[in-house]
Structure 1
Amino acid sequence: MFGLATLLYVQRASGSFAAAGLVSAGILAGEGIGAVVQGRVMDRRGPTWPLLLVAVLFGVAGAALVTAVETGQPLPVLVALALVAGLVQPALPGASRALWSDLVPPGRLRDTAYGYEAISLEVFFILGPAIAAFLVAAPWPGTGVVVAVALMAVGSVGFALTPAVRARSAAMADRGDQPASSVGLFGALARPGMRTVALASLGFGLVVGTVEVGVPAVTAAAGSAPMGGLLLSAWSVASVVAGVIYGMRPWPRPLHLRMPVLLGVFAVFVAMMALTGPLESLPVLVVTMLLAGAVITPQVTAHSMAVEIATPAGTASEAFGWVITAATLGLAAGQSFAGFVVEAAGPPAAFLAGGASGALLAVVLWLRRATLAPSAEPASVPA
């Protein structure tokens, strides 16, 4: 909700999708860096106090960004404030995914938990864009940003104070040691398999970023800006339904083959969204979006499962932070690039660019598939 609400708010205030895309990209770039830094701190000190601190800072940063938009500050100032807001945006996804290792045993049950996590996230991706799109049409277009910041801050505090999170923090404080494999600038990313997962997440974010700018541009040209949020929500509905079905019988079964195949299929479906053509045919866009949306949850679930294979012990929050960083940097690049492409050549060109980028990275993943093959997994030690 926060990213789309900010994009629509800045576009309404400035009249430029390119400017709005840069501000939204600033949020995502900051979020990508912050996810790794916060994840590394959480792996050492536990999630409770880091989340409580950044929840407060995020509220302040969000207020500063809204004030800058309202007072007509220049674009570089808006992008800088957006970057700060992203840096202190609470790293809830990484903290939540890492918590599953405390709650369920490894194996099939944990894979199911990651599937549930991906599907539950998609439920909020259904609600968030729709709410953001409607609130931008409120008497004050910044309403969606304020509501999103408040929800994130309150939700982060609530999550940080739950018994499971506090127990994880207490256990880490009692342990008092540092994850040895997390030493160094890149930490968990030093593993070849972890870099492959990050590339898959980067490609996923890059393709999604072009869609998140291209779709509102199509609906705005068709005379219905709020329709963009509804279409993105429908995209997530398709993702949830397909995720449940796909989880029953995933294909390809081997995880090291699944990630390049899923990204390649996703890229092809997004490129097909260019068939909307110069007349902005919404029915064609809806059909192709639903096809593309069906591949979202399977990819997110596969990324979480691959982290189990690739990550060093004791660095789960940081490892998931790298996955989120890669996705958000991809989103930032995709949104920023798509904003310029939309203004220069129209929304169909943005969909083609996103599809081509995803296809290229799918080829790279295929070439690196051996880093996540079963033989590449570290030998398990019986308890």
Structure 2
Amino acid sequence: MPPSYAAVLRTRYACRTFGAALLGRLSYGMVSLSLVLAVKETTRSYAVAGTVMALFGLTSVLLSPARAGLIDRHGPRRALLPMAAAHALLLTGLAFATWRPGASGILLGALAVPAGACTPPLGPVMRTLWSDLVPDRRLLQRAYSLDTVAEELLFVTGPLLVGLLVHVAAPSLGLAASATLISTGSLALVSSPAVRGRAGRKKAPAEPSPAVERAFGPQPAPVRRRLLPGGPGLRQAIAVSAAAGMCLGAFDLLVIGFADAHDAPEAVAWVLAALSGGSAIGGLAYGAVPWRASPRLRLAFLAAAMGLTLAASGLSPHPYVLVAWAALGGLFVAPALTTAYLIADECAGPATRTTAGAWVNTAYNAGSAAATAATGLLVGRLPLAACFALVAAPVALSAVTARRRSRRPAAVPCGCE
């Protein structure tokens, strides 16, 4: 089958499975804003709203690899449905608790922590299913690019839907809608024939792979257990993903500061839209190119280009020049994440694919959250141009990590170096 996006979607069961995953993942784009608005509405406190959201986000991000490990070990049908049911039930509880004014912040926090802990990893599961549905690596690159772009568009669409719901009803309705989406999408996903034959895999062996032994020599047992499932290649993908999350998480806040400094608050929406639009265009174009360079070299180039472009955007003399720079920098965002996921898939065995993809996703989200908090302390203390350069430095420097070759005499697949 000639490699194209149409060929990806024509793959047997692809549309049904991908559509179900996107339906459930739309909840991710809605739940954060819905939770903040609902808690603020009922408690009349930004501090409580921020604390509850932080509890929800931290448990969701930090426990993502553990939840993905359950999927790898027991299969989506046995592990995903209980997670989705618990998550939807807890979101419904938060919706009821925030429906009327005066809810206790302690109660809301007590519901938010397990709700975040049970967030079903639909993104990593779908990427694992793409590897099963599309064994051709050329088609898999297009499938991952399509998946990354679609997920980014969901995070643009979700807040817009929350805005419409808030306009006609209480913010807690957004939580109820998120619960409905995650439960419906998860149920539709596990009922797909693509999932039906995917039972739990045997637990990955504790011994390192021969490639790791050749690269680093015999490993003592405690070190073996601490190795990530993909070894050095996965660690490189995680490093770039975390740095990209730091850069983009801080960029949103810096754009607001830049717009305030130029007395042009309306430019914020245009800059962020340009970043998302550029990412979508870059992701689709990247997936359509039959690359000859190894994923390792592509990841190095994309990380360096993203960092340098977004660092230069801080020198913009006017907000609408920043729009152009943001669009240019966005061209490298989706391709970099797609490449990181491809490397994770190549480096992980069949028993750890979901976990490997979850580590890349966790690194991005954790980097974004940490950088947003740190950037809030920098704005106002340093010139904005220096802030832009400082937050873009990690992703530019991560290119060195992506290019580094492991110390081994024998060749392994290109993404696992």
Query: Same fold by TM (over 0.5)?
Result: yes
1:119-268 maps to which residues of 2 (within 5 A)?
Answer: 119-169=149-199, 172=200, 177-181=202-206, 186=226, 188-189=228-229, 191-214=231-254, 232-249=272-289, 253-268=293-308
User: Which residue identity lines up with residue 93 of structure 1 in the other structure?
Assistant: G
Letter in 2 for 1:309: E
**1:312-331 correspondence to structure 2 within 5 Å:** 312-331=349-368
Match of 1:91 in 2: 121
Unaligned runs of 5+ residues in structure 1 are: none
Q: Distance in 2 between matches of 1:78 and 1:337?
A: 26
| 2:394 partner amino acid | L
Question: Which amino acid in the other structure matches residue 128 of structure 1?
Answer: G
**2: CA distance, partners of 1:376 / 1:22:** 50
The 1:223–1:355 alpha-carbon spacing in structure 2 relative to 1, beyond 3 Å, is closer
Tell whether the 8 Å contact from 1:22 to 1:336 is kept in structure 2 after alignment: no
Q: What is the 5 A alignment of 1:1-383?
A: 1=29, 2-7=31-36, 16=46, 23-66=52-95, 67=97, 71=102, 73-74=104-105, 81-169=111-199, 172=200, 177-181=202-206, 186=226, 188-189=228-229, 191-214=231-254, 232-249=272-289, 253-272=293-312, 274=314, 283-341=320-378, 349=384, 353=387, 356-367=390-401, 369-371=403-405, 378=412
* Contact kept in structure 1, 2:345 and 2:356, CA below 8 Å: no
Change beyond 3 A, Cα 1:340–1:152: farther
Q: Which residues of structure 2 form unaligned runs of 5+?
A: 1-28, 209-223
- Name the structure 1 match of 2:8: none
Contact 2:246–2:370, Cα closer than 8 Å, also in 1: yes
Distance 1:5 1:352 in 2: 34
Number of aligned pairs?
Answer: 366
Aligned 8 A contact 1:267 1:354 in 2: no
Letter in 1 for 2:278: A
Moved more, 113-122 or 320-329: 113-122
Relative distance call for 1:154 and 1:331 in structure 2 (3 A) is: farther
Q: Identity across aligned pairs (percent)?
A: 27
Distance of aligned partners of 1:289 and 1:379 in 2 relative to their CA distance in 1, 3 Å threshold: closer
User: Post-superposition shift, 1:90?
Assistant: 0.9
Cα drift, residue 377 of structure 1: 5.6
Q: CA deviation at 1:9?
A: 5.2
SS of 1:188's equivalent?
coil
Q: TM-score, normalised by structure 1?
A: 0.78
CA deviation after TM superposition for structure 1 residue 206, in Å: 1.6
- Would the aligned equivalents of 2:65 and 2:355 in 1 still touch at CA under 8 Å? yes
- Relative contact order higher in (CA < 8 Å, ≥ 6 apart): 1
- Of 76-85 and 317-326, more deviation after overlay is shown by 76-85
Residues 273 and 47 (structure 1 numbering): CA distance in 2 closer, same or farther, change over 3 Å? same
For the aligned residue pairs, the C-alpha RMSD in angstroms reads 4.0
